Amino acid sequence: MLDYFALGVLFFVVIVLFYGIIVIHDIPYEISKRRNHPHQDAIHAAGWVSLFTLHAIWPFLWIWAMLYRDDRGWGFSTPKAELEQQLAEMRQRLERLEGQGASRSAHAVEEA
């Protein structure tokens, strides 16, 4: 009787490990799906490839999935409104500097 119980436990453990590994490798895809990542399909396919490469690329898939968020994009850029505000401030500063430069050159011409 214990032999059959041990065999059942062995099958159960093997099946749980098999499906557990598959579920773990789908974590980057689930993250990308939740974040509405533009490369969801590529991440999913690479997750399956990672199963056959002995998990070598799986950490990179996790990073790739975590890079993108709907609210901030890839996270490497400044929001557009902030960039437009900085551009307007720089234009105003440039106009002031050019105005100062023009008045100085006119003053220098008058003195000469």
Rounded to 10 degrees, the C-alpha dihedral 19/20/25/30 comes to 90
The residue behind tokens 């159960």 is 12
H or E element that contains 102: helix 80-111
At 107, the pLDDT band (50, 70, 90 cuts) reads: low
pLDDT tens per residue, range 6-53: 999 999 999 999 999 889 989 999 999 999 999 999 999 999 999 888
Cβ neighbors of 64 (< 8 A, separation 6 or more) are 28, 32, 39, 43
Secondary structure letter of residue 76 according to DSSP: S
The pTM of this model reads 0.61
| Coil vs helix vs strand at 24 | helix
